[in-house]
Amino acid sequence: MIDRREFVTTGLLLAGASTLSTPVLASPAADIGIPNPELFIYDSRYPQARELAKTMGAAGVKLIAIEGDFTPVWSATVQPLWKQRPMVVAGMTTERALFVLQTLAADYRMKLFQSHVMELVGGSEPLHQWLLVPRAPKQQ
C-alpha cells in the first residue's frame, strides 16, 4: 500500500534531478487522510514517470500511460471510471495534460489537491507530479 506521503516522496526520490523550492506538503489539507490512489496517469515519454509507474503498478494501482495528449485514453478508459464515482488519482505528466485532466476531473467532483513541478535536466518540458482527490461530500 502506498500512502499519499509515500506517493509524493517516492516520486520525488525517483525524480532524482528535481529541485524543490517549496515544501511538498505545504497544503493545509496535508493532515487530512487521503486514500491510496486508484489510478496513476503518467506521460510514458519520461523515464521518471515510467519509473514511478513501476512502483505504482507493483502496489496495485491501475496505470494509464499517455504520450502528451490525454485524448486517446479519455473516452475509453478514464471517463467510464470517473462516471462511477470520484476517486484519488495520482499522476506525473506535463502541465498541459494536467490542465486538461484537472478541468475534466472538476466535472466529476474531483479537485487538484496538490501539484509539484519537477525541473528536469535537459530543458525538456517540465513534468508535474500531482494528486487529484474527490471534493468534500455535501453537507445537508
Partner 1 sequence: MAILPPGVSAESFATAIQRLRTVVGNDWVFTSDEDVHPYRDHFSYIKNQSNELIPSAAVGPDRVEQVQDIVRIANEFRIPLYSISTGKNFAYGGPSPNVRGSVVVDLKRMDKVIEVDDKRHFAVVEPGVSYIDLYNYIQERGLKVWIDTPDPGWGSPIGNSLDHGIGYTLGFYRDHFGAHCGMEVVLPSGEVMRTGMGALPGSKSWHEYKHGFGPDPAGLFGQGNFGIVTKMGFRLMPQPEHWRTGMVRVPKRADLIALIEAVNYLSDLGLIGEPWYGSPLGALSRNQEFIDAARAFNADKLDSLAAAANLPSWEVELQFYGSAGTTKAGWDYAQEVITRKVPAARFVDGESFSVPLTPAQIQNNSAPYTSRMRRNITQGVPGLGVWYQTTRTDNNPNNWNETHIGLFSLVGRSGEAVMQAQKDFYEIAQIVGLPVTMPGITSTPVNWYQHAFLMGSGFAAAGDNTPEGKLKATKVLRRILEENAKRGYGDYRAPPILQDDVADQYSFNNHVLHRFNETLKNAIDPNGILSPGRAGIWPVAYSSLRGSLRK
C-alpha cell at 136: 468534500
d(CA 55, CA 60): 9
Closest CA to 132 of 118, 115, 112, 104: 112
- Closest to partner 1 by CB, 60 vs 126, is 126
The backbone torsions φ and ψ at residue 23, rounded to the nearest 5 degrees and listed phi first, read -60, 135
Find the shortest distance in angstroms from Cβ 103 to partner 1. 7
Helix (H) or strand (E) holding 100: helix 95-106
- Closest to partner 1 by CB, 9 vs 115, is 115
d(CA 117, CA 86): 24
Find the shortest distance in angstroms from Cβ 64 to partner 1. 15
Find the shortest distance in angstroms from Cβ 58 to partner 1. 28
Q: Which residues bind partner 1 (CB under 8 A)?
A: 68-71, 74-75, 94-100, 102-104, 106-107, 111-112, 115, 117, 128, 135-136, 138, 140
- Closest to partner 1 by CB, 10 vs 93, is 93
d(CA 70, CA 59): 23
Find the shortest distance in angstroms from Cβ 46 to partner 1. 15
- Closest to partner 1 by CB, 38 vs 68, is 68
